[in-house]
Amino acid sequence: MRLIWLLATLVVLSSAGTVKDPPKVRYDNYAVYKLSIKNKIQLSLLNRLSERTQNLNIWKDYDEFSKQMDIMVSPSESKRFQLFLKLYGINNQLLISNVQVLIDGEQVSSRDSGTFGWKRYYNLDEIEAWLDEILQTHPGITEDFSVGQSYEGRRIRGIKISHGSNKPGIFIESNIHAREWITSASATWFINELLTSQQPEVRNLANSYDWYIVPVFNVDGFAYSHQSDRMWRKTRQPHPTSSCIGVDGNRNFDSQWMVNNGASDDPCSETFAGPVPWSEPETKALSDYLTSIRDKFSVYISFHSYGQWLLSPYGHTKEEFPENYNDLLEIGDAFSGAIKNLVYGTEYVHGSTATVLYVASGSSVDWVFNELDKKVGFTIEFRDKARFGFVLPPSQILANCEELMAGMIALIDRTNTLGYI
Ligand code: 0X9
Ligand code: ZN
Ligand code: ZN
């Protein structure tokens, strides 16, 4: 009798397990192309085409600096897409021939178990378990905080690291875009360095400032990118009038929301701004939290990938620049210079989002800059330049982290000498 009960329980448990883990989206023979765009007509044709079909997924939007766009194409769309490129004379280069191969590669190297480290990517549960451990090992210096709750009811967690009260605060928001896994890997590494590194420059960072770090902001999207779809970007709230799910969190903030085509009103677009600003519980919670600690921080940094850029406001226009733009450029010089000096020689380009990258409105950095009046705000776009894109091999995590630390030391140092902190 007992055995039957046990077996029945096992059956129920295991079938519940399969219900909870739907088959993963596969990207067999999905290709990524870099397109070189010559004029506005080509650009608007491409944008319209990509919004009409789920078979095309923009990895990196067009930017006026390189005049290029990275786009992922499904095998079923491939022939038609090539014809389209030919017809309109759009130059293209194949970057990745099979995205699934990269995803599989990422999985294989994630098999080494053992303690938490930076040789593979971790899922949300693992990251949170590690955070708990860190909080336990460093009581007094660390403090757990909650930004709020996600649409699916997860707690959006952060850690405050402080060696004494009321030092100038630096806020780091990471993984607002789910598929940008290198961001939370780098954020956890950065937390660990602040707590354990003996390097004088790092000790100085840890001892002189109060750090507020949210390693995974888009918790629902991040969990979904691990369980179901590696290429997921947005939040996970359904839309009442569309079968497409989620909003681009980084277009949902109430600053210049939807202006200058810096976001989309199409729920199926990867840059859907949401029906109204703050439509997502996550962005609303972050804005409330940031407002509540507005007297406690002066620098705001948002982690993204990929492209190797350091981007400052404004995102919504390239006709105007912030009053302190020259200072921001100077800080950017310091950041890029420090990274370039490392053995890897990696190049980061800096400048305003709208001039260096593309017009993006309603972003977190611009909101903090404009509405909370924090005049040092940056987006870091980590490695690489589209060889692997979002699927940056685990073997590059540590090098990326070293670059982050060198860049941050220089960024904070210059911010300090310029008198902002
Ligand atoms: O488009 C974005 O949201 C960011 N690029 S990404 O490829 N990671 O999606 C850039 C955000 C730029 N920041 C501001 N608008 N301030
Ligand atoms: Zn991003
Ligand atoms: Zn410069």
Query: Does ligand 1 have an atom closer than 6 angstroms to the CB of 315?
Result: yes
Q: Work out the average pLDDT over 195-219.
A: 98
Q: Is 302 left (phi over 0), alpha (psi -120 to 50) or beta?
A: beta
Structure tokens at 48: 């319209």
Who contacts 156 (Cβ-Cβ below 8 Å, separation ≥6)?
146, 147, 148, 149, 150, 214, 216, 217, 219, 282, 285, 286
* C-alpha 92 to ligand 1 mean position (Å): 23
Is the pLDDT reported for residue 109 higher than 90? no
Banded model confidence at residue 9, pLDDT cuts 50, 70, 90:
very low
Q: Ligand 1 test: best mutation among 175, 363, 382, 383, most atoms within 8 Å of CB?
A: 363
Residue 99 backbone phi and psi in degrees, to 5: -60, -35
Q: Report how far apart, in Å, the C-alpha atoms of 127 and of each of 82, 103, 225, 333 are.
A: 41, 20, 14, 33
Closest ligand 1 atom to residue 379 Cα is: 13
Question: Is there a contact between 381 and 336 (Cβ–Cβ < 8 Å)?
Answer: no
What percentage of the chain exceeds 70 in pLDDT? 93
> Side chain identity at 93, as an amino acid letter?
Q
pLDDT tens for each residue of 219-256: 999 999 999 999 999 999 999 999 999 999 999 999 99
Question: Which is the closest atom of ligand 1 to the Cα of 312?
Answer: 16
Render pLDDT for 37-73 as a digit per residue (tens, 0 to 9).
999 999 999 988 888 888 999 999 998 888 999 999 9
pLDDT of 18: 47
Ligand 1 pocket member 150 (CB < 6 A): no
User: Between residues 51 and 418, which one has the greater pLDDT?
Assistant: 418
pLDDT of residue 191: 98
The torsion defined by the Cα of 43, 46, 52 and 57, in degrees rounded to 10, comes to -110
The kind and range of the H/E element at 197 are none
Q: Is the CB of 311 under 6 A from ligand 1?
A: yes
Please write the tens of the pLDDT for every residue from 363-372: 999 999 999 9
Collapsing DSSP to helix, strand or coil, 305 comes out as strand
3-state secondary structure of 398: helix
Mean pLDDT, residues 114-137: 95
Q: Ligand 1 in contact with 380 (CB < 6 A)?
A: no
pLDDT of amino acid 54? 85
First to last CA, the chain: 70
Closest CA to 174 of 163, 164, 187: 187
To test the pocket of ligand 1, the residue of 71, 174, 250, 255 to mutate (highest count of ligand atoms within 8 Å of its CB) is 250
Mean pLDDT of all residues in the chain? 93
Number of the ligand closest to the Cα of 248: 1
> 293-319, pLDDT tens digit by residue?
999 999 999 999 999 999 999 999 999
Of 273 and 110, the structure prediction assigns the larger pLDDT to: 273
The encoded tokens of residue 13 equal 């448990």
Nearest CA to ligand 1 atom 4: 304
Across 375-410, b (16+ Cβ under 10 Å) vs e yields bbbbbbbbbbbbebbbbbebebbeebbbbbbbbbbb
- What Rg, from alpha-carbon coordinates, does the chain have? 22
CA dist list (Å): 108 to 118, 125, 202: 15, 19, 33
Residues involved in catalysis: 381
Q: Is the CB of 183 under 6 A from ligand 1?
A: no
3-state secondary structure of 343: coil
Dist. CA 79–CA 261, nearest whole Å: 30
353 Cβ below 6 A of ligand 1? yes
**With bands split at pLDDT 50, 70 and 90, how would you rate the model's confidence at 88?**
very high
* Mutation test residue for ligand 1: of 254, 357, 369, the one with most atoms within 8 Å of CB: 357
Ligand 1 atom nearest residue 364's Cα: 16
Specify the pairing of strand 349-352 against strand 309-312: parallel
Cβ count near 244 (within 10 Å): 16
Q: Which residues pair with 138 in a beta bridge?
A: none
The verdict on the CB of residue 70 being under 6 Å from ligand 1 is no
Return left, alpha or beta for 373; rule: phi > 0 is left, psi -120 to 50 is alpha, else beta: left
Query: What's the confidence (pLDDT) of residue 10?
Result: 44
Q: What is the pLDDT of residue 303?
A: 99
Dist CA 328 CA 350 (whole Å): 9
Where do runs of H (alpha helix) occur along 247-358?
Answer: 281-292, 325-340
Q: What is the pLDDT of residues 130-176, one digit of tens each?
A: 999 999 999 999 999 999 999 999 999 999 999 998 899 999 999 99
Q: Who surrounds ion ligand 2 at CB < 5 A?
A: 177, 304
Question: 21 pLDDT band (50/70/90 cuts)?
Answer: low
Residue 421 alpha carbon to ligand 2 centre in Å: 27
**C-beta of 304 in contact with ligand 1 (< 6 A):** yes
Q: How confident is the model at residue 2 (pLDDT cuts 50, 70, 90)?
A: very low
Cα 59 to middle of ligand 2, angstroms: 10
- Taking only the tens place, the pLDDT of each residue in 250-294 is 999 999 999 999 999 999 999 999 999 999 999 999 999 999 999
- Amino acid in position 419: G
Q: Is the pLDDT of residue 13 over 80?
A: no
Determine the pLDDT at residue 113. Answer: 59
Percent of the chain with pLDDT over 90: 88
Q: For each of the domains in the chain, give its residue range(s) and CATH number, in order of start.
A: 31-106 (3.30.70.340), 124-234+248-417 (3.40.630.10)
For residues 403 and 334, the answer to whether their CB atoms sit within 8 Å is no
If DSSP states are collapsed to H, E and C, what string results for 21-75? CCCCCCCCCCEEEEEECCCHHHHHHHHHHHHHCCCEEEEEEEECCCCEEEEEECH
> 218 CB under 6 A from ligand 1?
no
